[in-house]
Structure 1
Amino acid sequence: MLEPVIEEKQLDAALFQFIFPFSLNKNCQDKLQAQLRADGYTRFSLKKTELETEYYGEPYRVSHLNMERYYLPFTNNMLFPHSEKQAGLHRFSKSMKLHCSFKSEYRNFDFIVQSTDVFLCPFDLGFITVRIEIPCSDITFTDALEFTKRFRVLQDMNSQDKAARWISEKKTFDDVEDFLFEVLVPGMIPYLNSDELEGTYFAKHPFFVDERMYVQGLFAFKNKSDMTKADLFRASQIDGVDKYDQPYISSSSMDYIDRYLDEHSYDRWAPNTFYITHETSFVCVTNEDENIRTQLANHMYGEYYYALLINLFHKIVLLKLSNQYSQVRLDKNQDKIEELIRSITTFSAKYYFNEVVSQSQGKEIFIQLRRHFGNIDLYADVKHTLADLYKYQENFTAKRSNYLLLILTVYTVVSGIYGMNQVIEDLKGDIDWGKLQGYSVFEHIAFVLTISGISIALWLGFTTIFQLFKEQLKKKH
């Protein structure tokens, strides 16, 4: 069996977007938007064409016109909402151009935080994106992979993570999450939903999957260097170095690597450019010249970035809905069942579309991302859950209505005929309560039935109005 051979290569460009999904406290988005503005963030809008070169560094540019044309109209409404009140993915961005340093046991080099995005999304979700460039004057492919592997880990997980240091303006951080929440998004922590922390022992902040960020990256090799299958596999798996500081690859079988790349790579522009999708990374590996490399980077910052975000959004919402279903007690949580049905229906109608992209190559990459995220199977499970909830609610409502109708029918007949005939005359005009002392046992029963019948009617009317009011409030939110 052939083993993969690792050949070290120099890079012309190393560009990354690290994405951290998080859960927000309920009804906090207005306050969080104000906080982001106070921290120097600007609401992103396609109308603001002056922002096309603001967040990406030289010489990169994202055409707002091309982005609008790239997606279908109903997708644009979700991705680029026209107003803050419109439902969708609201992006707030801040240009930083912050020069920082990465230091580990064997490495010490600079990187630039070009900008940071914060997305506020429906279903109380959000994303933080950190956009980073490594100046490639003397950076190897392994250096870039090792940096990526360490930076995506928010909380140290092993000795190599603990040896990494992140230096910004003469301040050193041991953990990436400290650097993230103290330097890049300092006002974010009070708005993070910490309910998930109740079942953890060591986490300081809530994570949806684990303590690592999703990676979108572009690796551009120098001088038309040949790209091997081992290079593509290492880029997708973010394989840096082992504990002996030697280039590392997380497979010893070329047969496995061949099968992996057959399934995960998009080779429309081979042999010079490959896109590889994985459940934790989406990378472009190329050896094209500077002009084409710049175009590829523009796509990764623009159209493909949003394709990735849509799929991440879909996956996390579907996971949240599945988790909510697992926590619902069908016999007691009728309000939660109705809320879950409403959430699934809203997601299906407004945010989950089979057709999203208008261009063929973009459609193929989008479908590949969706497939590797497992969104198709997750969506099928959620739709099955919706059918089960509707069936359960229909049976529960029918059973409850039958019981209520039976009780009310018996109650109406007994109290209407028996009660009205016994005590109705004493309840006319000014009531003489002293007559109650002379009632027989049956007249006392009739009186109680009459008064309780009136009380039940008032209670049913009040609860109906209250439920209607709650429904209106839920629709507004």
Structure 2
Amino acid sequence: MIRPILEEKSLKVALFQFMFPFSLHADCQEEMKQQLEKDGFIPFALGNLELETAFYGEGYKVSHLNLERYYLPFTNSVIFPHKLTEDVFQRYSKRLEFDCELHMNGDAYTIRIHSLDVWLCPFDLGFINIRVELPCEELNYSQALEIVNRFRVLQNMKDENEQLRIVKDQKDYDEVEDFIFEMLVPGILTFLDKSNLQDSYFEKLPYFEDERMYVLGMVSFTDGCEISPVDLYRGSRADGLDQQGNPYTSSSNMDYIQRYVGAHTYDRWGPDTLYVMEETSFVCLTNQSAEITTAIGNHIYGAYYYGVLINLFNRIVLLKLSNRYSHVQLDQNQDEIDDLIRSITIFSARYYFLEVASQPQGKEIFLQLRNHMGIDGLFAEVKKTLADLYKYQENFTAKRSNYLLMILTIYTVISGIYGMNQVIEDLKGPIDWSKMKEYSVFEYIAMGVTFSGMTIALALGITTLRRLIKEIRKRR
């Protein structure tokens, strides 16, 4: 078995974005938007060209015109809406431009945080995106990956000597989640939905998969530096340093690394620019000139960022729908079943994009991302869930209709033939209740059937009216 050879490499640029999904309380978006604007966040609008250079650091620019052309019109209507409503992606951004210190392994590293995005999305889903730049004059490739590996972990679950501490304005944060929700976005913690954590012992936030943030990044090596399969593998897995401070890789088998890289790499611009992607990361490695590196960085902040966001949204919503299906009480909660059917149908029709990009490379990268996130498989399971729900609903409706028809038939026969002939005359005009003292047993039965039938009919009418009003409200 051939073991991988680990070499230290110098860097020119290291840009990373850390994306954290969270679940929101229902119907809280308007209040949350007010809080975000109070905290200094700006609603993002594609038509506002002043924002092209506002959030990405010195020298980087995201062309809004090119961004709109990159995606297809039906995708643009969702991710670049003219009006911020709950059925579209709503982006709020804040420029930060400050440095903080990361303490780990006995060393301190300075990083620059450029800006922050908070996304409010359909299905009560949100995202936080943090843009970070690492000082390449102070770091090598292994150290940069180690910073990424530590910073992406929201809760410290490792040994004490493997934990990360963040220092900003002489205040220490022992966990990344504390730094995010106390320093970066202190106003949104109350809006997070933690209802799914009742059965958890250690989780404190509503993670969908684990405690790690998704990483979207670009690393530029010095000009002409060869990019090896080991570099790609380590970049994808964020393999930085071992406990002794030496370069680390999570695989000792070079054959495995070759197979992994072959399956996860997009090499249209290889061997000088390569993209490697998997379920939790999307990283570009390049050794091109500064001008080309800047252009790649613009794409990472622009078109590729939105492509990753769409795929993450699709994956998490599908996981969320699957989780809801597993908790539905089929025999007890018909309203929840109806709501789940409606949610799956809306997602399939409006948000599940088979193609999003207009350019060939965009289509290829988007499809490869979706493949590595397993979105098509999740969607197939959800579609099967929808078929099962429709079948159950059809059987339930047929059974309920049969029961209702049987009850109404009984009431019709008894009250129409028996009741009408015995007590109907006494119920005309002013009712003389004293006559009921002389009723026989059969007349009492007839009167009881008549009044109970009227009560049931009134109850059915009220129930139907309530369901109709609820349906109208949900459609709005």
Fold-level match, TM-score > 0.5? yes
Instruction: State the SS of the aligned residue for 1:204.
Output: coil
Instruction: State the SS of the aligned residue for 1:119.
Output: strand
Rounded to whole Å, the distance in 1 between the matches of 2:361 and 2:85 is: 33
Matches within 5 A, 1:41-440: 41-85=41-85, 87-159=87-159, 163-440=163-440
In the TM superposition, what is the alpha-carbon distance from 1:399 to its structure 2 partner? 1.4
Rounded to whole Å, the distance in 2 between the matches of 1:51 and 1:156 is: 35
Rounded to whole Å, the distance in 2 between the matches of 1:109 and 1:467 is: 59
Gaps of 5+ in 2: none
Rounded to whole Å, the distance in 2 between the matches of 1:280 and 1:297 is: 19
The question of whether the paired residues in 1 share the 8 Å contact of 2:87 and 2:122 is answered with: yes
- Does 2:24 correspond to 1:24? yes
Rounded to whole Å, the distance in 2 between the matches of 1:377 and 1:451 is: 55
Rounded to whole Å, the distance in 2 between the matches of 1:453 and 1:400 is: 17
Instruction: State the SS of the aligned residue for 1:126.
Output: strand
Rounded to whole Å, the distance in 1 between the matches of 2:457 and 2:106 is: 79
* CA-atom RMSD in angstroms: 1.0
Moved more, 163-172 or 392-401: 163-172
Residue equivalent to 2:8:
8
Number of matched residues? 476
Rounded to whole Å, the distance in 1 between the matches of 2:275 and 2:453 is: 71
The question of whether the paired residues in 1 share the 8 Å contact of 2:229 and 2:257 is answered with: yes
Rounded to whole Å, the distance in 2 between the matches of 1:376 and 1:293 is: 33
In the TM superposition, what is the alpha-carbon distance from 1:161 to its structure 2 partner? 6.8
The question of whether the paired residues in 2 share the 8 Å contact of 1:153 and 1:161 is answered with: no
Instruction: State the SS of the aligned residue for 1:52.
Output: helix
Instruction: State the SS of the aligned residue for 2:325.
Output: helix
Instruction: State the SS of the aligned residue for 1:207.
Output: coil
The question of whether the paired residues in 1 share the 8 Å contact of 2:86 and 2:121 is answered with: no
Rounded to whole Å, the distance in 2 between the matches of 1:193 and 1:394 is: 33
Residue equivalent to 2:36:
36
In the TM superposition, what is the alpha-carbon distance from 1:325 to its structure 2 partner? 0.7
Does the C-alpha gap of structure 1 residues 13 and 74 become closer, same or farther in structure 2, counting only changes over 3 Å?
A: same
Rounded to whole Å, the distance in 2 between the matches of 1:451 and 1:200 is: 52
In the TM superposition, what is the alpha-carbon distance from 1:160 to its structure 2 partner? 5.9
The question of whether the paired residues in 1 share the 8 Å contact of 2:105 and 2:162 is answered with: no
- AA aligned to 1:379 is F
The question of whether the paired residues in 1 share the 8 Å contact of 2:29 and 2:86 is answered with: no
Rounded to whole Å, the distance in 2 between the matches of 1:78 and 1:19 is: 19
The question of whether the paired residues in 2 share the 8 Å contact of 1:160 and 1:243 is answered with: no
Deviations, residues 36-69 of structure 1 (Å, cap 9, x unaligned): 0000000001011100000000111000001100
Rounded to whole Å, the distance in 2 between the matches of 1:403 and 1:196 is: 37
Rounded to whole Å, the distance in 1 between the matches of 2:87 and 2:445 is: 57
In the TM superposition, what is the alpha-carbon distance from 1:228 to its structure 2 partner? 1.2
- AA aligned to 1:97 is E
- AA aligned to 1:330 is L
The question of whether the paired residues in 2 share the 8 Å contact of 1:150 and 1:161 is answered with: no
Rounded to whole Å, the distance in 1 between the matches of 2:400 and 2:370 is: 42
The question of whether the paired residues in 1 share the 8 Å contact of 2:150 and 2:163 is answered with: no
Rounded to whole Å, the distance in 2 between the matches of 1:203 and 1:321 is: 21
- AA aligned to 2:291 is N
Rounded to whole Å, the distance in 2 between the matches of 1:354 and 1:292 is: 30
Work out the percentage of aligned pairs sharing the same amino acid. 57
Deviations, residues 143-185 of structure 1 (Å, cap 9, x unaligned): 1101000000001021267542111122111111110001110
Rounded to whole Å, the distance in 2 between the matches of 1:197 and 1:326 is: 16
- AA aligned to 2:186 is P
The question of whether the paired residues in 2 share the 8 Å contact of 1:162 and 1:174 is answered with: no
Does the C-alpha gap of structure 1 residues 405 and 161 become closer, same or farther in structure 2, counting only changes over 3 Å?
A: farther
In the TM superposition, what is the alpha-carbon distance from 1:107 to its structure 2 partner? 2.7
Deviations, residues 112-137 of structure 1 (Å, cap 9, x unaligned): 11000000000000000010001211
Instruction: State the SS of the aligned residue for 1:335.
Output: helix
In the TM superposition, what is the alpha-carbon distance from 1:106 to its structure 2 partner? 4.0
Rounded to whole Å, the distance in 2 between the matches of 1:385 and 1:221 is: 47
The question of whether the paired residues in 2 share the 8 Å contact of 1:106 and 1:245 is answered with: no
- TM-score after normalising by structure 2: 0.98
In the TM superposition, what is the alpha-carbon distance from 1:438 to its structure 2 partner? 0.7
In the TM superposition, what is the alpha-carbon distance from 1:85 to its structure 2 partner? 2.5
Instruction: State the SS of the aligned residue for 1:199.
Output: coil
In the TM superposition, what is the alpha-carbon distance from 1:463 to its structure 2 partner? 1.1
